Amino acid sequence: MTESLFYFLSKPSLWFSSQKRIILLSHMRSRSSVLSHIVGSSPHISGYSELSISYAKYSGLLKQKLVLSKDDAAFDKKAFLFDKILHNAFDFDGVRYLNGSRCKNLIMLRDPESTIRSIVTMGRKNGNPKYSNVEWAVHYYTERVTKLVEIGSQLNEFFFIESDRIVDDTEALLHELSGFIGLPSALSSEYRQFSRTGQRRSGDTSVHIHAGRVVRTTTNEHLTLPKGALASARMVHRQAINRLSRAACNGNLQTVAV
């Protein structure tokens, strides 16, 4: 805490910097790391990973500035600050800030089969008994997607992304997303490597994140899930797709200068 205070005092501009924010609301193993790297590679955006900051209090916004300022030499020149939130515990307390004029909101979902297989595979690879448990992964997915629908129903506007579009319809998706954010140049499917790329607690730790471009990966079909385990997750996902697709403002896009 003392170290953070001294850092803020040494950089008073942090208190008064007027960057806007891009908040990606999603869930684990949704391809959020790839999208985050694409977004963070824009010269207008600072942030490319999961910061694991709780935004329930205003201090979370200050902490985001602190973390990104330390990690990005050009922080003060960036128009937008980016973070992704993948867990209910880190969400904002309500949507007041998200509905402000200085925040662009993205919501992304991936299908339950691919997501849960990926969570469990990751858990077994890293020796994490919680993530290795199929029942826990199903519970996490259903709870998180339910919360995302709840948040989406309260937002004035948001851009909705079905995760498969990142690999199946990359260029069109990035053009639409660039327009929604209001970037002066379109996002590229090729992205940079950053100081925390591939590190634990910062997103995807697989070799694929180091590719520097969007690549199609396997969906862990070798992992057999218990019969009926996905029933609740499939229903929640299906309802979420319908509700979020209707509520999203993907068609209301600004012009991108390319």
**9 domain residue, yes or no:** no
Q: What's the pLDDT at 251?
A: 54
**257 domain residue, yes or no:** no
**133 domain residue, yes or no:** yes
Query: How many CA atoms lie less than 13 Å away from 184 in the CB half-sphere?
Result: 6
Q: Is the dihedral of CA 141, 166, 223, 239 positive or negative?
A: positive
Q: Is the dihedral of CA 18, 78, 200, 38 positive or negative?
A: positive
Q: What's the pLDDT at 178?
A: 97
**231 domain residue, yes or no:** yes
Domain harbouring 135, CATH code: 3.40.50.300
**232 domain residue, yes or no:** yes
Residue 242 to residues 111, 149, 248, Cα–Cα distance (Å): 13, 10, 10
Q: What's the pLDDT at 13?
A: 75
**255 domain residue, yes or no:** no
Per-position pLDDT tens, the chain of length 258: 577 767 777 777 777 778 899 999 999 999 999 999 999 999 999 999 999 999 999 889 999 999 999 899 889 889 999 999 999 999 999 999 999 999 999 999 999 999 999 999 999 988 999 999 999 999 999 999 999 999 999 999 999 999 999 999 999 999 999 999 999 999 999 999 998 888 877 788 888 888 899 988 766 667 778 778 889 999 999 999 999 999 997 754 443 433
Pairing of strands 80-85, 103-109: unpaired
Rounded-to-integer distance, Cα 123 and Cα 117, Å: 10
Tell me the two tokens of residue 175.
């053009």
Instruction: Tell me how many domains the chain contains.
Output: 1
**253 domain residue, yes or no:** no
- Which residue range forms the structural domain that includes residue 206? 17-247
Q: What's the pLDDT at 257?
A: 37
Q: What's the pLDDT at 205?
A: 80
**165 domain residue, yes or no:** yes
Rounded-to-integer distance, Cα 55 and Cα 181, Å: 21
CA angle 93, 109, 141 (to 5 degrees): 70
Q: pTM of the predicted model, to two decimals?
A: 0.92
Q: What's the pLDDT at 221?
A: 66
CA angle 84, 109, 71 (to 5 degrees): 15
Rounded-to-integer distance, Cα 52 and Cα 60, Å: 10
Tell me the two tokens of residue 39.
């977004």
